């Protein structure tokens, strides 16, 4: 399509009663490519997969990063549930009682790659813990672990939980990353208080008891600094 055709389609989409945001984003990207005076970086959606494999090589490292993120969110308890994980394709559920996220925090935190929030706020809000998670690794850790993710999160003052689902196979090399949308819904509270639950399905590796125990070796920095202030409970369901 030439510039005039793209403009016409965009104008038509913007006049519609219900906006098709995915098409608007895709056409806007095409329009910027026709800018005669400026060029812009684009990001291949497959970056999520590549970074997940390169930044988080081991499944134990990936899981430890998720626990550290819960710690950074001032969780006092983290529960791990391993379901049918004696083979590839199982389910891992990570539940914490941290501060949870509102919609804005989801958009500007989890959904923003290379966020500088941990640099701007190096200490947690409630317990003033020095943050232990590596900057921006959480989303790549869950991608490294499984093929799908469901996030349920709730802040203390909220009356609902936010739910977002991701299918990592959608992030293919043929798409621009900002053209892939993930539906966000409000649902009944998944907890009576606050916290975040990650439901990771289609696990890429099986989990042995030895591998589960090995996760703790990656958490020594938390234990040594704040052993008295963190309580982590795990439950393995290996069948």
Residue 51 is predicted with a pLDDT of 80
User: Quick one: 82 and 15 in the same domain?
Assistant: no
Residue 238 is predicted with a pLDDT of 31
pLDDT 10s digit of each residue in the chain, 239 long? Answer: 888 998 999 999 899 999 888 898 888 988 998 998 998 888 888 888 888 778 788 999 999 999 999 999 999 999 999 999 999 999 999 999 999 999 999 998 888 876 666 677 888 999 888 888 765 677 788 999 999 999 999 999 999 999 999 999 998 777 888 889 999 999 999 999 999 999 999 999 999 999 999 998 888 777 665 554 544 434 343 33
Residue 225 is predicted with a pLDDT of 58
User: Is 39 a domain residue?
Assistant: no
User: Quick one: 164 and 138 in the same domain?
Assistant: yes
User: Is 42 a domain residue?
Assistant: no
CATH of the domain at 84: 3.30.565.10
* Residue among 138, 144, 130, 60 nearest 96 (CA): 138
Residue 138 is predicted with a pLDDT of 73
Residue 232 is predicted with a pLDDT of 40
User: Is 149 a domain residue?
Assistant: yes
Instruction: Indicate left, alpha or beta for 89 from its phi (over 0: left) and psi (-120 to 50: alpha).
Output: left
Count of other CB atoms within 10 angstroms of residue 71: 26
Range of the domain at 91: 47-237
96: which strand partners? Answer: 78, 196
Dihedral pair phi/psi, residue 51, rounded to 5°: -65, -35
User: Quick one: 10 and 102 in the same domain?
Assistant: no
User: Quick one: 70 and 13 in the same domain?
Assistant: no
79: which strand partners? Answer: 95, 233
User: Quick one: 173 and 214 in the same domain?
Assistant: yes
User: Quick one: 15 and 122 in the same domain?
Assistant: no
Q: Alpha-carbon distance 193 to 159, whole Å?
A: 10
User: Quick one: 118 and 217 in the same domain?
Assistant: yes
At residue 39, the 3 state secondary structure works out as: coil
For the residues of 107-175, what is the DSSP string, one character each? IIIITSTT--HHHH--B-TTT-PBP-SPTT-HHHHHHHHEEEEEEEEE-TT-SSEEEEEEEGGGS-TTS
User: Quick one: 16 and 90 in the same domain?
Assistant: no
Residue 228 is predicted with a pLDDT of 46
User: Quick one: 127 and 182 in the same domain?
Assistant: yes
User: Quick one: 22 and 93 in the same domain?
Assistant: no
Residue 115 is predicted with a pLDDT of 65
User: Quick one: 94 and 20 in the same domain?
Assistant: no
Q: How many domains does the chain fold into?
A: 2
Cβ atoms of 126 and 62 within 8 Å: the answer is no
* Tokens 């739910």 belong to residue: 163
Count of other CB atoms within 10 angstroms of residue 38: 6
User: Quick one: 28 and 51 in the same domain?
Assistant: no
For 21, the enclosing helix (H) or strand (E) is helix 21-33
User: Is 38 a domain residue?
Assistant: no
User: Is 40 a domain residue?
Assistant: no
């Amino acid at each position: 399509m030439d510039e005039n055709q793209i403009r016409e389609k965009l104008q038509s989409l913007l006049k519609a009663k219900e906006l098709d945001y995915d098409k608007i984003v895709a056409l806007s990207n095409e329009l910027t490519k026709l800018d005669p005076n400026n060029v812009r970086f684009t990001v291949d959606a497959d970056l999520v997969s590549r970074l997940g494999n390169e930044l988080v090589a081991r499944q134990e490292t990936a899981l430890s990063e998720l626990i550290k993120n819960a710690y950074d969110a001032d969780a006092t308890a983290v529960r791990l549930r391993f379901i049918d994980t004696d083979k590839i394709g199982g389910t891992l559920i990570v539940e914490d009682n941290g501060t949870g996220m509102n919609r804005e925090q989801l958009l500007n935190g989890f959904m923003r790659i290379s966020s500088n929030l941990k640099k701007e706020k190096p200490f947690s809000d409630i317990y003033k813990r020095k943050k232990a998670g590596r900057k921006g690794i959480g989303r790549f850790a869950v991608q490294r672990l499984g093929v799908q993710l469901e996030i349920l999160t709730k802040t203390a003052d909220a009356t609902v939980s936010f739910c977002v689902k991701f299918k990592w196979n959608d992030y293919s090399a043929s798409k621009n990353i900002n053209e892939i949308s993930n539906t966000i819904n409000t649902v009944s509270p998944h907890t009576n208080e606050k916290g975040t639950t990650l439901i990771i399905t289609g696990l890429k590796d099986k989990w042995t008891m030895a591998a589960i125990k090995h996760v703790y070796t990656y958490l020594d920095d938390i234990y040594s600094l704040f052993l008295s202030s963190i309580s982590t409970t795990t439950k393995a369901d290996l069948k």
